[in-house]
Structure 1
Amino acid sequence: MSAQEVAVQADGLRKRYGDKRALDGFDLHVPRGSVCGLLGPNGAGKTTSVRILATLVRLDEGRARVGGFDVATEPHRVRRTIGLVGQHAAVDEVLSGYQNLVMFARLHHLEKRAARQRATELLGRFGLADTGNKPVKAYSGGMRRRLDLAASMILAPAVLFLDEPTVGLDPRGRNEVWEAVRELVADGTTVLLTTQYLDEADQLADRIAVIDHGRVIAEGSPAELKSRIGGDRIDVVPHDAADLAKAAEALRTVVGGEPDVDGDTRRISVRVTGHAAALPGVVRALDDAGVRLDDLALRLPTLDEVFLQLTEARV
């Protein structure tokens, strides 16, 4: 990618806190207009990397550019380019949604009329027009996070950092935030997302970087990362536990791999490379063996499995 195509660039970032290395050669390139999910276990360096890229923390070594500007030598220009949504909502609960946005707009030096106009626009864009005059303390968790996103978009930043944006939200609230993020990206905003919810990264991210011990250990699209763990699986649950051995043998004969048998759940699982094409043969073999089934499914790999395999290998 050319420099013009990269919205976020980090090369060899290092950061120490005392004897602890928070970042140890962190590299990341995020294309413009995309969503990059940054995944990693607690303490891996996700938040530190975001804080450096957002100019909140100085790096010890390396180089980083956001929106084409150097975070070390041009921090003021970087700050005019970015928006940041932290793990906790930064809105005032006593004020209304509208008043919060006007306040943030004025802090960004917008004139009164422009601030009011921008607040009204953002309330409509984030689905909060009907509740804009209510105090934020009456908002649901999802509504507060959408208001937080709206506040970060006062100046329509080219790059938006989202640090654990849906922590503590119920499924409805998470979906509301996801939809708001998709709309921002459709309008051209580049998003760097850190999250502990792997399904969130799967839903939103064009590319994912897995960070552990302060450096990126794997990178690619969700599909590319899933393909690394060896393909799909066929799961079979016999109706009768006495048929586990017969079912496992039928799977072994058709698929060729060695099945994993869980006697407690009566679940037999085996990896396949032929995807759905293997299912008819499995069904016939189980029927010929006289095995009645409670469940039969082709299961795609999940990011949870990718994450565990990548990070456990480094423990």
Structure 2
Amino acid sequence: MDIHTLSPIAGKDYPQNWNAFLDWFSTEDACLAYLEKLRWPEGFVCPSCALAGKPHRANRGRLICRHCRYQSSVTAGTIFSKTRTPLRVWLAAAWYLTNQKQGVSALGLQRVLGLGSYQTAWMILHRYRRAMIRPGREKLHGLVEVDETYLDMTDGRPGDRSKRKSHTQRVLIILAVEIKEPQGFGRIRLRRIDDDTKGNVLPFIQNSIETGSHVRTDGAGMYVKLHELGYQHDRKVMLGSETPAHTSMPGVHRVASLIKRWLLGTHHGAVRPEQLDAYLDEFVFRFNRRSSRSRGMLFYRLLQQAVATEPVTYENVVVRKAKEE
């Protein structure tokens, strides 16, 4: 059974408020025990031989498989791997990150947690962003709008608060938004693309939208053969139309506006093109859970994915990598 289909219980599986959080995670051992339960909800499974069984517990948090004698730990192979930052700080960061509806900047996190290094706060946020997208998630379906938009990105480096003038460049992203009838929006998908050609647009649609869905686009040529891929296609030709684009396709225009406002408001427009994918993942995580009444549930889901996500280094983040499929 997919652990994401289960319904965690407030007060049992995650704290309900900040006071409860402080009680639950007052020590490093308490944090380790919580992460261990999330990583192996049915008991320890050896990362090497894949056999289940109660491990031998050595010092420094080492877990030794009784079958193959492989040594591991709760944090090994996760986003917390080899961190020098206390887990209490990591979990506090996760709580703060998920309890701020508009997100948090690295500078804001540094101030709230009293971190001595901006880079530490920046990396904590980027590691969590890496865990915000769950592999195998359900594709969008029903009526889905698809469009592209440009974002203005700065060339300033993380933590660079010098007074020099920053230069900007335009980065193209593609959006898909579920449309609910009679009104409202469902889930979304976002991706940075190099250009608006079929080679970039069609794979995004196939990876994001369930075959057979009703896809609404503008009149651009790269969408012409969508019906051959198994989609119902509704083309809205904007050129010469008396109906404004934001009226014909309200979903993508609304989401594009929210992304731009979020990048300028929460992150002050200081997002580099190389890291944009991570910020888009965070926006998707937040938007798709915007109706959640429990911020504690978001905390639980983020940590649940964090212990199932491979570690990422500083070099992985600052150096541009191809977007993973």
Task: Give the TM-score band, short-chain normalised.
Answer: under 0.3
Rg: which structure is higher?
Answer: 1
Select the structure that is richer in strand. 1
TM-score when scaled to structure 1?
0.28
TM-score when scaled to structure 2?
0.27
Q: Which structure would you say has the larger RCO, counting Cα contacts within 8 Å and 6 or more residues apart?
A: 2
